[in-house]
Every structure is written in C-alpha cells, then in structure tokens.
Structure 1
Amino acid sequence: MNQMQDYKTTVKFETFSYLPPMTPDQIRAQIEYALSQGWAPSIEHVEPENMMNHYWYMWKLPFFGEDNVENVLSEIEECHRKYPGHHVRLVAYDNFTQSQGTAFVVYRAG
C-alpha cells in the first residue's frame, strides 16, 4: 500500500490513477481483458491544460469488433507519436450495458 500516490499532490486521471504507472505488460493485460469482454476499444487524447474537460479528442473511430491486441497497441503508439505533448487514454465501450467498461491513461504528457 505504500506505493499509492498522495491524492493532494498529483493530478488524477482515470481508473488506476492512484497506482504507480502501469508497465507495458500490465497495459497489454488490460487491453486483452477488454477485448475478451467484447468491449470496443477507443483511443482519445488531449492537451494537459484541457485534461479536466469532459471531452477529449477521439483518435479515429472506436475499433468495433477488434480482437487483436497488437492492432490496439499500434494505434495507441501512433497517436502518441502524432501528439507527443498530449495525454493519451484507452476507453473500452461495453455495448451490452451501453457504458464504458474501462478507461485509463496510457501516456501522460511531460
């Protein structure tokens, strides 16, 4: 428990933001889980100064029917290369409950 971040001194994002940054293997595992649930992954990005806005920019359309983790990871990397100064997050939509199954920041700017 000593690795949890102090909520008063750091900016919080989405799911997992009170934990240390995820490793590439942990990110892969989260994407694998989302895909195994049948959720549609989507990638969003935003400038750090606008991160608390309700709307982030969508990177392409959600990947409906996607079942390949590598495709999702390559799109995340491409978004990060195109917008290196932006936060990049993955959102996975659950079309059964019509809600987000998960959302977490993959890259934090600066």
Structure 2
Amino acid sequence: MAVNPYISSKRYETFSYLPAFTPEQVRNQIAYAISQGWNPAVEYAHPDDQADHYWHMWGLPMFGEDSVDVVLSEIEACHRAFPSYVVRFVAYDNYTQSQGLAFVVHRG
C-alpha cells in the first residue's frame, strides 16, 4: 500500500490537506479573497516554529488592495527574504473581524 506524502506532513491552514497549489490556483484564491472585499496579508514563520508561535507579518495588511499582482509580488518578496521559512497568504474579513481565508504558499 502506497503512503500518501501529504498525510505524513504537518497540516496548517485551510488547504493543507491538498497538494501544493499551482501558481494559477494561488492567483485564483487571492483573486477570490479580493473579490470578497477581504484585506490581504502575508505572514511567515520558521518551519520549526509555525505551530508553536505567532507568525510574523510581512509588513502591514494590504488594506483595500485590489491587485492580485501586488499581493503576489509581496509574497515573492517575503519568500526571497526568508527562503527556508513557511510563507502564507491571509485574507482578513472586516465584517466578521476574522480571517476569511488562509493558506500556505511556500512550505519552506
């Protein structure tokens, strides 16, 4: 019986039980979050600390940002600055005052 590599890895965020998103799927998820009026943000954490500590925020949330390309460029800038860290996209919902969506983009 073959072992699924996704079952043996740690699970974090909304889509962590699925295979890693393709760049187009990441773009579509960010576009969806923006279309809902949610505020995008980028966070990062060391792979050993991602379950035990708060994640570090890359800058401030991008309040009112409506460009997927701007968000993607911030995700890539964070990944370039911390290539061995886990980087995730978070979308904050002003209405419910909570996260509307969060998923890991780079697993470190």
In the alignment, structure 2 segments of 5+ residues that lack a partner are none
Shift in Å, 1:60: 0.2
Q: Secondary structure at the match of 2:12?
A: coil
For normalisation by structure 2, the TM-score amounts to: 0.93
Q: Contact (CA 8 Å) 1:48, 1:87: kept in 2 or not?
A: yes
Give the conservation status (yes or no) of the 8 Å contact 1:4–1:20. Answer: no
Identity over aligned residues, as a percent? 58
2:6 alignment partner, SS class = coil
Aligned to 1:99: 98
CA distance in 1, matches of 2:17, 2:96: 26
1:80 pairs with 2:93: no
Rounded to whole Å, the distance in 2 between the matches of 1:107 and 1:101 is: 19
Task: State the one-letter code of the partner of 2:6.
Answer: Q
- C-alpha separation in 1, matches of 2:12 and 2:83: 18
Query: What 5-or-longer segments of structure 1 have no aligned partner?
Result: none
**What is the root-mean-square deviation in Å for CA atoms of aligned residues?**
1.3
Q: How does 1:19-38 map to 2 (within 5 A)?
A: 19-38=18-37
- Residue correspondence of structure 1 range 1-110 to structure 2 within 5 A: 5-6=6-7, 9-109=8-108
Runs (4+) off by over 4 Å: none
Provide the TM-score with structure 1 as the length reference: 0.91
Distance 2:53 2:101 in 1: 16
Aligned length: 105
